[in-house]
Amino acid sequence: MNEFSAHERILGVDPGLQATGYAVIETGRTSAGVILAGVVRTDREAPLEKRLEQIHQGLSQVIRETSPRVAVVEELYSHYNHPRTAILMGHARGVIYFTARQHGLEVKSYSATRIKKFLTGNGRASKAQIQKTIQVSLKLDAPPEPPDVADALAVALCHCNVLGHKAGQEYRTGINNRIKK
């Protein structure tokens, strides 16, 4: 594990070709808070290369605005009945990794099971359980929406835990005002 400063900015990313969730959290010695969270949406009708470019542009803007040090991406999971989905998600993840490295960010990834187990103690927790846990951990008025944002917050919080930081600080800028749906 690397040595990290008292305040560290982490970009959590929930990869998706239609909607890529992102959340930038800032850690402190004893807590973490959200700087910015939202969704990069792509044009369904656009060709694949244009959609990947939209993801790249959206995440580049987030990185420039928030200056995170590390990007954390949920690992690819694919059901054997849907191999095409895995291939398309692989394209999105590739662009996310490229964008992060282009901006000088270290890239980490965790499995969905590990993220869920860290947050709830159950590797098979439901989306609702994850959202509720994030709400409580970050002292939010409501569970984070949409689910893409909740998943991005979850992966960022998982990495925060790996670094030895704890969540709990209220949002510094107010998530309701900073989520870009």
Query: What confidence tens digit (pLDDT) does each residue in 99-117 have?
Result: 999 999 999 999 999 999 9
42: Cβ contacts below 8 Å, ≥ 6 apart: 17, 18, 19, 20, 50, 51, 54, 55
* Mean pLDDT, range 137-152, rounded to an integer: 91
One-letter identity of residue 159: H
Catalytic residue among 8, 14, 26, 151: 14
Contact 96, 15 (CB under 8 A): yes
Give the residue with greater pLDDT, 73 vs 86: 73
Residue 165 or residue 53, greater confidence: 53
Whether 170 sits among the annotated catalytic residues: the reply is: no
Q: Is the pLDDT of residue 177 over 90?
A: no
Catalytic residue list contains 148 = yes
Q: What are the extents of the domains in the chain?
A: 8-180
Residues 84-110, mean pLDDT to the nearest whole number:
94
The predicted pLDDT at position 174 comes to: 38
- Under a CB-based contact definition with an 8 Å cutoff, are residues 50 and 43 in contact? yes
Q: What is the pLDDT of residue 140?
A: 82
pLDDT band at 165 (very low <50, low <70, confident <90, very high): low
- Superfamily of 8-180 according to CATH: Ribonuclease H-like superfamily/Ribonuclease H (3.30.420.10)
**Active-site residue, selected from the candidate residues 8, 26, 74, 151:** 74
> Residue 5: which residues within 8 A CB-CB, separation 6 or more?
none
84 pLDDT exceeds 60? yes
Q: How confident is the model at residue 29 (pLDDT cuts 50, 70, 90)?
A: low
Which two three-digit tokens encode residue 62?
Answer: 């987030």
